[in-house]
Amino acid sequence: DGGITQSPKYLFRKEGQNVTLSCEQNLNHDAMYWYRQDPGQGLRLIYYSQIVNDFQKGDIAEGYSVSREKKESFPLTVTSAQKNPTAFYLCASSHDSENRGVRTEAFFGQGTRLTVV
């Protein structure tokens, strides 16, 4: 079945360590996104990518890094520079509607809950 998969579902990190969250989609979507969700808050955009080998910073990119080497994959690295990394991370993808003149909805993965221990 087509969809977007995040792994792992739960992740524990020691302070000072980098960790990488996986996001894979087989929907043939051009655009992919990473969001962070804290308790009682909405989603905040970390990074997004409209095409392979290109990505842009969202509203809270500091302390995070991404790569987009393949259309299907958009991994997020939470670096030691991120001061408060404990959160729920959501990945999403959509057709690159801007280029095609058609706006479509984003599909979301099931999320990764990252906890710093």
Partner 1 sequence: SQELEQSPQSLIVQEGKNLTINCTSSKTLYGLYWYKQKYGEGLIFLMMLQKGGEEKSHEKITAKLDEKKQQSSLHITASQPSHAGIYLCGADRTGTASKLTFGTGTRLQVTL
Give bridge partners of residue 51 from the DSSP assignment: 54
Residue 93 in contact with residue 4, Cβ under 8 Å? yes
Q: How far apart are CA 50 and CA 20, in angstroms?
A: 20
* Radius of gyration in angstroms for the set of CA atoms belonging to the chain, rounded to a whole number: 14
Closest approach of Cβ 16 to partner 1, in Å?
27
The binder of partner 1 chosen from 23, 46, 109, 116 (CB under 8 A): 109
Return the amino acid letter for 62. E
- Among 14-22, 46-54, 64-72, 75-83, the segment contacting partner 1 (CB under 8 A): 46-54
Tokens of 82: 């991120």
Give the residue with the Cβ less far from partner 1, 75 or 107. Answer: 107
111 binding partner 1? (CB under 8 A)? yes
List of residues contacting partner 1 (CB under 8 A): 6, 31, 33, 35, 41-45, 48-50, 56, 58-59, 88, 90, 92, 94, 96-98, 103-111, 113
